[in-house]
Structure 1
Amino acid sequence: MDLQDQLKNLFPDHIEEEKTSKEDESSNVWMQDDPIICKYEKRKGKPITIIEGYTGANSDFKILAKEIKTTLSVGGSFKDDKIIIQGDYRDKIMQMLKNKGFTVKRVGG
């Protein structure tokens, strides 16, 4: 019997709790009927991607913003029910949102 088996015998619920808490975080996002709008703009000569149209709770949208920023390793912010990402990452963001189950509409350029 190795160390992993001994730990499972001593703490059978511990491993299951970690898995369920990670699954709960990703499944808490509100799914909606209307598509999320992903558009491209230039502000002060620099490209930005704006994501808007989410109808769920602001806290869920902030979690989504943080996940997008960390996945793409870019800067951005959450203001006025919009996620603003620095740079033109529409294709990658749209693919991420589709993988999560959202419908996405591309606007502009």
Structure 2
Amino acid sequence: MYPNNPPPPGFHPTSPPVPNTIIVGAFHPMLGEYPAQITCPRCQRQVVTEVNYVNGTMVWIFVLVLLFIFFPLMCVPCCIDQCKDVEHFCPSCRNFIGLKKRI
């Protein structure tokens, strides 16, 4: 913790120093297109996630295909939740838990 300098006077660490850890992402096999019951990694509560549908790769692929096949229907995939990616949030602390991508 203090490689070159000694700790300041009166400093007594209660536990050994822990290196900084950054968790980039975690795999949640239970996260799908519907709310799931999990333990929130932030608040440690057993919760049923809240879901939010967002436009993802699958929506834009369908929009481009419909643009060339039948122009008036190209916005339909933006209105269908089954085409969208699903974001999961903790209802207690509003922490982002995970994302279910369609593609």
- TM-score normalised by the chain length of structure 2: 0.24
Greater strand share, structure number: 1
Instruction: With a CA cutoff of 8 Å and minimum separation of 6, indicate the structure with the bigger relative contact order.
Output: 1
- TM-score normalised by the chain length of structure 1: 0.23
Greater helix share, structure number: 1
